[in-house]
Amino acid sequence: MKHFIEPELRAAFIDRAIRFDWILARIIAVFAVGIELFNLIRVTFYSPSGLTTPNNWTYFGFYLTFLTGAAAFLVIDRLKGSGLRRQTRYRILLAAGSFFVLWQVLFAVFDLSSSLSIGKISGAVALVSFAALFVMKPLYAMVNLLGGYFILLTYIATLNDFGTLLNYVLIGIMSLVIYFARLYGILNELKQADELRSMDRALEESEARFRLSNEQYETLLDQSHLITFQWNLRRDVVHFSSAWEEIFALPREIHHVEEAIRTGDYLTRAQKDALLRCVRATRAGEDFQKEELLLPVKGGGQRWFEVHMMCQKDRHGRPALGIGLLVDIMDQKNRILELEKEASMDAFTRTLNKAAFESYGARRLAGLAPGEELALLILDMDDFKGVNDTYGHQAGDHVLVCLSGQMKALAPSRCQIGRMGGDEFAVLFDPPGAGQAAGDYAARLIDAVRAIEWEGRPLSVGCSIGIALGGAGASYEDLYAAADRALYEAKRQGKDCWQMAAAAP
């Protein structure tokens, strides 16, 4: 009996039982609540003897018990039915099924003891229905069915009614036949479904192995963001795989490689320098190179690639071919950047710390294309020491937290915020329109700082801001010095204002 259901089908069988029996139990419970409420009212108010006889009290107890069980199931179904664990729902259904069988059997016995022939019918109908409708494991079904029939047959035997006893034995056998016939049908259906799933898996695995054929090797490379290329140094022509055209929107064949790099207006100076270093090293016969490059891709964005270049030489030892791969490493870079970002944050304000901000500014300046400009904004609180002296350092910390929050809330998407130390902050704006964006931001930020309160009272705090612009070729130190001079000028002009400096030299 334990192994009647094959191990690989048990989980599917339980899922089937839960799915079907839960709906069946819900229908029975709803029906039972209505019927038993009617029976309670009938036996209490419309029975000639009311609740004055032990017989009616017993019926009242039966009706109330079934009503309580049905209502409890409906409450569980309404409040937590879909959120219960699979095993918990299954156990609730097992308990509900046993409760149904036991109640019906005891009720039928009581009907028979009261000389009501309907008891002979109701008990048999309940057990046959249980066998025909509920989806249950064999051991559970046998315990409930045989237990129910044992109680009925034991009582019927005391009535010396051999015909009824024989009928119940036959009905019991029929119930078991009905149950096992239905169980066989369910298991056969589940087995066929499992075999179909196994066939589908085998087919998918076979198709997957077939797809990994030599004819589709290039497609696999494309899907893996791998770009292969071959550079004929003597003809100065490089051929790329199809992924090159899809990712970069550039022709798969490029002539005069160095000239194409130098004149490519889509490349920054830093990108050109890095590519030219690889090209010249290959021309010089360097056997192998590996370098990381940030390159512009189709759609206007930029992605990180790792270049693997191998130089093949002719029989005279002269460089003849450059063969290599471009591997998209953007996801790896992003993970590294996330870790670096966490290490570079100011713990108090959750903005970049001084070292991280300066490093970021230097990198952004180095990556500017001709004609592009960055804007650097430096903010310093006015008379901040007075806040600490008057209201305490807790108020000063509150001001810094509010300030950093306002800086983040008002910041446009193309900027980075950093804390330089104490009450000094900096913001770097990317092109295009960096200067205009920085000026608009400074004006809004000054208004926001004026509105900072402490314990419901205005603090009358303010800030001064200096802004400087820097283009390709400028150093971060020069740009910062220019913004700092503009900040000094704002302080000299009376504070609580912003000033724009000339571009860094």
> Both 300 and 324 in a single domain?
yes
If one counts the domains in the chain, the total is 3
pLDDT at 14: 84
pLDDT at 160: 79
pTM of the predicted protein model: 0.40
The domain that holds 320 is classified in CATH as: 3.30.450.20
**pLDDT band at residue 216 using 50, 70 and 90 as cut-offs:** low
- From 135, 169, 202, give the residue that closes a domain: 202
> Both 12 and 161 in a single domain?
yes
Q: Is the pLDDT of residue 213 over 60?
A: no
pLDDT at 385: 87
Q: SS3 of 435, please?
A: helix
- The answer to the question of residue 43 being in a domain is yes
> Both 329 and 405 in a single domain?
no
pLDDT at 492: 93
| Per-position DSSP letters for 67-118, written without gaps between them | HHHHHHHHHHHHHHTTTS-HHHHHHHHHHHHHHHHHHHHHHHHHHHHTT-TH
**pLDDT band at residue 218 using 50, 70 and 90 as cut-offs:** low
Average pLDDT value over all residues in the chain: 85
**CA atoms of 292 and 325, how far apart (whole Å):** 12
pLDDT at 332: 86
> Both 461 and 409 in a single domain?
yes
- The answer to the question of residue 214 being in a domain is no
Whether residue 82 contacts residue 26, with contact meaning beta carbons closer than 8 Å, is answered with no
> Both 156 and 271 in a single domain?
no
- Using CA atoms, how far residue 196 sits from 192, 199, 202, 264, in Å, is 6, 5, 10, 57
> Both 11 and 99 in a single domain?
yes
Q: Is the pLDDT of residue 117 over 70?
A: no
> Both 226 and 183 in a single domain?
no
pLDDT at 205: 66
> Both 192 and 228 in a single domain?
no
**pLDDT band at residue 193 using 50, 70 and 90 as cut-offs:** confident
Higher pLDDT, 209 or 78: 78
pLDDT in tens, 451-505: 999 988 888 899 999 999 998 889 999 999 999 999 999 999 999 999 998 654 4
**pLDDT band at residue 222 using 50, 70 and 90 as cut-offs:** low
Cβ neighbour number for residue 260 with a 10 Å cutoff: 17
Q: Is the pLDDT of residue 1 over 60?
A: no
**pLDDT band at residue 420 using 50, 70 and 90 as cut-offs:** very high
Higher pLDDT, 340 or 222: 340
> Both 89 and 198 in a single domain?
yes
- The answer to the question of residue 208 being in a domain is no
- The answer to the question of residue 213 being in a domain is no
**CA atoms of 450 and 143, how far apart (whole Å):** 79
- The answer to the question of residue 185 being in a domain is yes
> Could you list the residue range(s) of the whole structural domain that residue 302 is in?
219-333
Of all residues in the chain, what percent carry a pLDDT higher than 90?
27
> Both 171 and 238 in a single domain?
no
DSSP annotation of 504 reads P
Q: Is the pLDDT of residue 249 over 70?
A: yes
> Both 425 and 484 in a single domain?
yes
> Both 194 and 313 in a single domain?
no
